[in-house]
Structure formats: C-alpha cells, structure tokens
Chain A
C-alpha cells in the first residue's frame, strides 16, 4: 500500500504537466541502456527468489507483494530462510536490519544528491538498491537531461524488473512441477558471489574476516537456530569501536 502511494506521488510529479512528461521520456530513453545489466540481474535473481518462495510453499501473491515492497535481493533471499525457521521476531528484526544497513550508508552518500528533489524523493529513497545506487551515483550529468528524472526512470525500470522476475519465478514454480530439492543453495550462491566481489574490491580484508570468524564462534557457542543475533551485535560493537579509533578499511 505505502509503496503504491509513494510511487503514485513520484509519478504524479511527471504526469501533471506535459513538458515534464516529455522530459521524463527523454530521461528514460537515456536511462534504459544503463538498466540492461540490472534487468538481467533482477529478472534472474527474481526468478530464483520466486522459485524459492514457491518451493517453501508460500503463495504467488506473497512473492509479488514482497518484491514490490522490499526490492532487496539479499534481504528477501534471507527472508525465505527465516520464514521457514521457528518464529523469532527479535532475531529477524536485527538480522534483516543489519543486512540492509548498507542502504543507510548508501543514503549517507546520497544526502547531497537527493537534496530538494520534491515529490520524487521519497520514492527514490524507498527503492535504493545496490545496483541502482551504483548507476545513479556514477551517472555523469547531462545538460539536456533532468537528473532526477534519470534516477526516477532507472528506479522505476529496475523496480519493475524485480517484480517481473519474482512473479515469473513463482509462476514457473507453480506450473512446472519438478524436483526443486537443493534450490535453497541459490542463497549460498548469492552471498558467496557478493563476498568474493567485495574481497576483490577491497584491500583491507579484516572486516570480512571478522564477520566470518565471529559468526563461526557464535555458531559453535549458540547453535544454528540463534547464533546470528549475537554475531551481528558483536560485529557491530567491534566495528563501531574500531571506526572511532583506527582508520580501518579506509584505503578502499
């Protein structure tokens, strides 16, 4: 519901006046090629998510609602796993918050860029993702294109790809019945790839190793049902303390 209101608010900005609509279409034309890699990624990952949801026994509509409202690959993959575990609201809240905390840091970088954007701003914030963040931040502004419409176009298209992917995956799982045992490994694949990419793109591997090490220790102490909450708390405390002292990870 919220997302629909936020989206309508953002779109009303362009549908009001004909010139604005034309400016948006012009920006969308420029934006589309930038979204092609996102399309490949979101449709594929969305299909994987939809199939995971279907395999776990959740209805198609829930998959679509989650894709439309959350737009978060890692969060949603993890959600499928958490939704099949025993009910644990506190751990769920903290774990997903930590996974999505990177959006907060993206937002910090976007504070200036999003200044004074009016009605489109809430939507642009709502749909921040890793992929659209990269496109929107690295985009070289052009005089003939209104930047906020460029970002709006990138976000609306990417948002749609994600919903389409998720819907396709859920429907495929619903219609074509084959043995999906082991498909949960898609989550492992996703996080392993992110881990490897981050490892390659950074020179300081201490934070990554800290995460692995603390999680293993907590797994051994607390067991597989409840180790992520203490692990996340310890990681957060250690990193907050360190970021006040040394310049850990600064040379990235």
Chain B
C-alpha cells in the first residue's frame, strides 16, 4: 500500500466507524420505533462477526509449512485456558501475546 492509499484507507475506516454509531439515530429519529427483526439481528450478528474474525486472525497460518501453526496453537491454548480460568481479558491477551512472541523469537526460529 502506498502512503496515499494508507491515508485513504484510514479515512474509509473512520467513515465506517462513525456511521454505524449514528445510523440508528438518523434512521429512527426521536419517537420512531425500530422494527422487531433488527433487535433479533442485534443478538445474532455480533456473535457471528466475532466468530468470523477469530478465523481471520489465523488466516496466514500454514499447517503444511514450518512451524506448522504450532506457536499459534500453543499461544491460543494459553489464552483459552487462562480465560476460562480467570475471565480476565487483559491477562489472557497479555499472556497469549507474550507466549507467542517468545515462541516465534526463541523456540520456533
């Protein structure tokens, strides 16, 4: 991406970060009721999007080439186990990232 394309992308991202916040207030001005199906969608869509994003995080992992996704798998296990146990996002995130950094820098070089 060229420098110009970076700035265009940042502006596009900004636009679709601000728009979803204002959208309901624009579409349903004071006094107007949103339809029922939207509230149902609100309980399903965020879950599906995060599910897809987790897959997105592992998109570059190759099982066939060295290190066969092993560092990712170990770091993911650290996050899952720690998060199920302590329910602390900061702790799980930090521990998983540090574990991954150590693995790719010192173990699977």
- Which residues of A are interface residues toward B (Cβ below 8 A)? 2, 40-41, 44-45, 48, 58, 62, 65-66, 69-70, 72, 74-75, 78-79, 82-87, 89, 92-93, 96-111, 114-116, 121, 125-126, 128, 179-183, 185-198, 200, 202, 206-216, 219, 224, 227-228, 231-232, 235-236, 239-240, 242-244, 247-250, 252
Contacts and interface: CB of A to CB of B under 8 A. Distances in A.
Contacts, number: 277
Interface size class of B (residues with CB under 8 A): 35 or more
B57 interface: yes
B45 A193 contact: no
A222 B14 CA distance: 27
Contact of B101 (A110, A185, A195, A215): A185
Contact of B13 (A44, A82, A107, A240): A82
Nearest to A196: B83
B64 interface: no
Given A191-B50, A249-B44, A107 B92 contact: no
Contacts of B8: 87, 89
Contact of B46 (A92, A101, A126, A243): A101
B100 A182 contact: yes
A212 B17 contact: no
Of listed A48, A185, A206, residue having the most chain B CB within 10 A = A185
B1 A102 contact: no
A2 B83 CA distance: 38
Contacts of A242: 44
B14 A69 contact: yes
29 contacts: A69-B17, A74-B53, A83-B9, A87-B1, A87-B8, A89-B9, A103-B21, A107-B22, A107-B25, A108-B39, A182-B103, A183-B97, A185-B72, A188-B96, A192-B57, A192-B92, A192-B96, A195-B51, A197-B83, A197-B89, A207-B45, A207-B51, A211-B50, A211-B55, A212-B54, A213-B51, A224-B60, A240-B41, A249-B40
